[in-house]
Amino acid sequence: MKHLSVGSRWNADLVAEYHERWKQDPQSVEADWRAFFEGFELGLSLPPKPAKGVAAGPGAAVDAAAQAKVFAAIHAYRTLAHLQAKTNPLADPTPYFELTDKALGLDTLSATQPYYTGDFLGGQMLPLSEILAKLKATYCGPIGVEYTHIQDGARRRWLQERIESCGLRPAYDAAARRSFLRTIVQAEQFERFLHKTFVGAKRFSVEGGETLLVALERLISRSPGLGISDIVIGMAHRGRLNVLVNTCGKKAEYLFEGFSENHVPDTTNGDGDVKYHLGYEGERSVDGRKVAITLAFNPSHLEAVNPVVLGRARARVDLQSDGKRSAALPVLIHGDSAFAGQGIVMETFNLSNVKGYAVGGTVHIVTNNQVGFTTGPEEARSGRHCTEIAKFVEAPIFHVNGDDPDAVVLATEIALEYRQQFAADAVVDIVCYRRYGHNETDEPAFTQPVLYRTISNHPSVAELYASRLTSSGSTPDGELAGLRTEFEVLLNAAQDRAKAAIAVEVAEREKTPAAVCPFQSPYDASVDTTAPEALLQKVAPALWTMPPDFAPNPKIKRLLDAKAEAFKSGANFDWSLGEGLAFASLLAEGYPIRISGQDCERGTFSHRHAVLHDPSNDAEYCPLNAVSGGESIELVNSTLSEYAVLGFDYGYSLEAPDSLVIWEAQFGDFANGAQIMIDQFIASSESKWGQTSGLVMLL
């Protein structure tokens, strides 16, 4: 009885079997079962309190086994209904057998018989038909949710209450819904303008997934009220131009200049990069409060930017003396195939709750186009959903129909609230489609003819939503046409400004003779790295002096004594002593230090011993944090990852230029595992993006 679960029909059948035994001979079952059946039948034999609008018959009793089947059905819908939710805008869901009345054992029960709902709907007596109708309305609508895999009871109950209290039914007023429509039309018109103005140019359109922009807008608008002051976004190429202009605030004319065939990029300070790799830093005002918006630069390598974003978010909080992790929100936007296929996704998830890398949770948004370049879901992954990897960290997953902006906003809000409440990751899987091929010059009908026949006949998100709002009275007739005209005028004006700027550029180029000016970093490497003897004399004793209540391992104690003797004699300095003095002097001069890597506290070759352990009680002590009047040092034994950890520390270094940020490879050649990060970010970011990093790699 202690481990009773009513999660399946088989358990319900077991309850029925025990119940029959108890009725024939109460002593034939355990004492726990006897108490259960006695109390259960007593309670259910009483006249139930009639639910609103339901007249309960006098003395109506409920069979315990039947009630158990109802409980099992409630659990089944919470667990499995995402499999038949209406989340795909291009197809109706396939009925899932495990949720049929027959599979749940409900086919023999009366639909009008009232049953107790337990922790569903606050514990009511309702007819079976009404219980099932409410379960289907909540869990089989445009949002399919996965949360029962979460083992933490508090988190699971919070989600259950948040989901079932609103029935996953959005209730936004007309003003909010009109703002959603405005964002969608703005995104749509931007893409259409690029398509007709710069024919044949690659832009990696977001069309079909425009509700991504609505989700981002909601994250921004809710942020100040939840204590968020910084949002750091990482995403690949699809939809990036739209996000740059319509979310981050980059002026459209600057982007349009880059499309002109007469534009010659200035490579004086570097080679530059394609438009859909560029980042941006801006600021948005929400009800008078500022929210910093950063879109991280990204190479073509999918998902590579993920740990970089997390490193930047952590550093922003670390640099604020009273900062809270919840104040900086990382938002990672994924593609469906990349989310399932790229190993860096798992490596980054694994950092989410590890000391030295936690960022207070990340909101993940998947723009699920249901195809990756030319690869269908059946070839792209083994799991049923592209989001299965998120269960690795027990993140809740909201699958939502991309043609339903209200549902997308609600799912995004719940994910954001969960992140703020529990400092944990949450995933919003926007099931949408890709209007064109992988890029606008690609022909998707070569490889997905049936899918793209459906897409070509499918109305746009803006058209569907505008029609819905007009039908409900939320917007007047002609709202869609009016918005399209408004944004067309604005985009044409931006293009006129871009043309004028290009004309000036061409005229200046004609007046100035061509010249070769190779890229050369402006930095001077001749830096004085010496430290005054007086400073070293001041900081050195901290390296071998222990608190009175701390006793290190005897072997370590001998090493510390040898350090002290070497320093006093001025001879026999080893790497450990030299490194320790360098770190201590930097800390004393006001420079924070972060060292991250596999086994970096002790050092791979037992050469550092920067964090000591007392054998008697396993207490830890870091001598460098005892440097008088100095900054603090953070030493972090990393997860067994090179790619994600190096990316995280690179991102951290971007936000902490006055700190010494070090990534240490366990063995030098292990850096091979992070080669993408070295090639695409560390070695080339200054030339491509004008972005400099002071990261130090110890190999």
- Summarize pLDDT for 472-483 with one digit per residue, the tens: 999 999 999 999
Tokens matching residue 654: 């971007």
Query: C-alpha angle 354/358/359, rounded to 5°?
Result: 170
Residue whose pair of structure tokens reads 């027959």 in the numeric block: 102
Over 594-610, what HEC string results?
EEEECCCCCCCCCCCCC
Q: Determine the Cα–Cα distance for residues 561 and 350; give it in Å rounded to an integer.
A: 39
Over 238-268, what HEC string results?
CCHHHHHHHHHCCCHHHHHHHHCCCCCCCCC
DSSP-assigned letters across all residues of 572-583: ---HHHHHHHHH
- The 10 Å Cβ neighbour count of residue 42 is 9
Segments of 244-359 assigned E as strands:
280-286, 289-295, 328-335
CATH superfamily assigned to domain 174-511: Thiamin diphosphate (ThDP)-binding fold, Pyr/PP domains (3.40.50.970)
Which segment of 3-12, 506-515, 689-698 scores lowest on mean pLDDT?
3-12
Whether residue 2 has pLDDT greater than 50: no
Per-residue pLDDT reduced to its tens digit, 10-44:
455 566 677 778 778 888 877 656 656 665 665 55
Residue whose pair of structure tokens reads 């006695």 in the numeric block: 38
Whether residue 46 has pLDDT greater than 90: no
Give which of 306, 393, 396 is closest to 353, Cα–Cα.
393
The one-letter amino acid at 332: L
Report residue 353 CA to chain centroid gap.
13
Q: Determine the Cα–Cα distance for residues 368 and 400; give it in Å rounded to an integer.
A: 10
Contact assessment for residue 399 and residue 82, using Cβ atoms and an 8 Å cutoff: yes
Q: Determine the Cα–Cα distance for residues 316 and 323; give it in Å rounded to an integer.
A: 8
* pLDDT value for 4: 38
Whether residue 520 has pLDDT greater than 60: yes
Q: Determine the Cα–Cα distance for residues 639 and 666; give it in Å rounded to an integer.
A: 11
Residue whose pair of structure tokens reads 């998707």 in the numeric block: 444
* pLDDT value for 518: 63
Which segment of 144-158, 362-376, 436-450 scores lowest on mean pLDDT?
436-450
Give which of 683, 690, 550, 689 is closest to 625, Cα–Cα.
550
Q: With respect to CATH, is domain 533-698 assigned 3.40.1390.10? A: no
* pLDDT value for 32: 59
* pLDDT value for 440: 84
- Rounded mean pLDDT, 136-150: 98
* pLDDT value for 200: 87
Tokens matching residue 441: 């010059």
The C-alpha torsion from 320 through 326 and 328 to 332, rounded to 10°, is 150
Q: Determine the Cα–Cα distance for residues 568 and 595; give it in Å rounded to an integer.
A: 27
Query: C-alpha angle 422/218/652, rounded to 5°?
Result: 60
pLDDT band at 300 (very low <50, low <70, confident <90, very high): very high
Give which of 432, 422, 425 is closest to 386, Cα–Cα.
432
* pLDDT value for 59: 36
Reduced to 3 states (helix: H, G, I; strand: E, B; else coil), residue 191 is: helix
DSSP character for 46?
A: S
What are the domain boundaries of the chain? 9-141, 174-511, 533-698
Q: Maximum Cα–Cα distance for the chain, whole Å? A: 105
What residues have CB less than 8 Å from 500, skipping those under 6 apart?
Answer: none
335: phi then psi, degrees, rounded to nearest 5: -95, 155
Per-residue pLDDT reduced to its tens digit, 254-269:
999 999 988 888 777 7
- Rounded mean pLDDT, 634-655: 96
Q: Determine the Cα–Cα distance for residues 258 and 23; give it in Å rounded to an integer.
A: 81
Question: Is residue 354 within a helix (H) or strand (E), and if so which, with residue range?
Answer: none
294: phi then psi, degrees, rounded to nearest 5: -125, 125
Contact assessment for residue 400 and residue 143, using Cβ atoms and an 8 Å cutoff: yes
Give which of 95, 100, 93, 94 is closest to 76, Cα–Cα.
100
Whether residue 147 has pLDDT greater than 80: yes
Q: Which top CATH class is 9-141?
A: mainly alpha
* pLDDT value for 87: 98
- Rounded mean pLDDT, 288-298: 96
Whether residue 8 has pLDDT greater than 50: no
Q: Determine the Cα–Cα distance for residues 239 and 212; give it in Å rounded to an integer.
A: 9
- Rounded mean pLDDT, 34-57: 53
Per-residue pLDDT reduced to its tens digit, 189-231:
999 999 999 998 989 999 999 999 999 999 999 999 999 999 9
Per the prediction, the chain carries an average pLDDT of 91
Q: 179 to each of 15, 221, 376, 432, how far by Cα in Å?
A: 52, 12, 34, 20
Whether residue 689 has pLDDT greater than 80: yes
Q: Which residues of 50-77 are buried (b: 16+ CB within 10 A; e: fewer)?
A: ebeeeeeeeeeebbbbbbbbbbbbbbbb
Reduced to 3 states (helix: H, G, I; strand: E, B; else coil), residue 432 is: coil
DSSP-assigned letters across all residues of 75-138: HHHHHHGGGGSS--TTSPPPPPGGGSHHHHT-TTS-TTSEEE-TTSTTT-EEEHHHHHHHHHHH
* pLDDT value for 6: 40
Residues in the chain: 699
Instruction: Report the share of the chain in percent with pLDDT over 70.
Output: 92
472: phi then psi, degrees, rounded to nearest 5: -85, -5
Tokens matching residue 626: 């005892």
Whether residue 612 has pLDDT greater than 90: yes
**Same fold yes or no, 174-511 and 533-698:** yes
Question: Is residue 662 within a helix (H) or strand (E), and if so which, with residue range?
Answer: strand 660-664
pLDDT band at 597 (very low <50, low <70, confident <90, very high): very high
* pLDDT value for 14: 64
